[in-house]
Chains A and B, each alone.
Chain A
Amino acid sequence: DTAVSQTPKYLVTQMGNDKSIKCEQNLGHDTMYWYKQDSKKFLKIMFSYNNKELIINETVPNRFSPKSPDKAHLNLHINSLELGDSAVYFCASSPWAGGRTDTQYFGPGTRLTVL
């Protein structure tokens, strides 16, 4: 069984459109994340949720809105897509470790291409 899954795997869309990426984990973890990997392979945290509560919100444009309907799901909605949003988006999860940062489990990624 897939531990962290994302859909879709590929997403090609026009500028200005609104799109969503879904993420689900079946590991029973309390914490979930969204990371963005750019064309130079730099990986940067965007958001983090713990038990449906937002705990990290980096300097991400407010066109990006995460939503966590339950602790097993963390979806990413993007409004008014721009060319610079093209990247690979990774969802990840980890067990709650208090103030520490523990091993994270990554999904396969969603390659977003904005034309």
Chain B
Amino acid sequence: SQQGEEDPQALSIQEGENATMNCSYKTSINNLQWYRQNSGRGLVHLILIRSNEREKHSGRLRVTLDTSKKSSSLLITASRAADTASYFCATGRVDTGRRALTFGSGTRLQVQP
């Protein structure tokens, strides 16, 4: 089963607006990562937040992590048409020492010009 669930599944906004996506997970993690996937392409890493961090910024991206609620959010500010893509959260689990990521179901973001 999927480790993460993302909300919403799809989001459509106008250029210039902010987009917020949420991710929930089930097990203990050592970090949480967000990836972007453009249609027909591979995944591109956006940002990594460690389990002892609460907030992180990278350009127009802001990620928060609440380990007590097992949830994270990704905020894209001042969105652009080029931000149109699917966004996935992925967790690195602590329990098994695995180095593979467990992905959420993704949010499809459409930014209208």
A residues adjacent to B (C-beta < 8 A): 4, 31, 33, 40-45, 48, 50, 55-56, 90, 92, 94, 97, 99-109
The chain A residue with its CB closest to the CB of B51 is A100
Binds A, one of B54-62, B76-84, B86-94: B86-94
Name which of B2, B45, B93 has the most chain A CB atoms within 10 A of its CB: B45
With a cutoff of 8 Å between Cβ atoms, the chain B residues found around residue A43 in the complex are 43, 88, 103, 106
- A106 and B103 in contact (CB under 8 A), knowing A41-B86, A99-B97, A101-B98? no
The chain B residue with its CB closest to the CB of A41 is B106
Would A101 and B92 count as touching, CB distance under 8 A? Answer: yes
Known: A33-B100, A42-B2. 20 other contacts (CB 8 A): A41-B37, A43-B43, A48-B98, A48-B99, A56-B98, A94-B99, A99-B30, A99-B97, A100-B30, A101-B98, A102-B31, A102-B48, A102-B99, A103-B33, A104-B43, A104-B45, A104-B101, A108-B41, A109-B40, A109-B41
Interface residues of chain B: helix, strand, loop or mixed (majority): strand
With a cutoff of 8 Å between Cβ atoms, the chain B residues found around residue A99 in the complex are 30, 97, 99
With a cutoff of 8 Å between Cβ atoms, the chain B residues found around residue A40 in the complex are 105
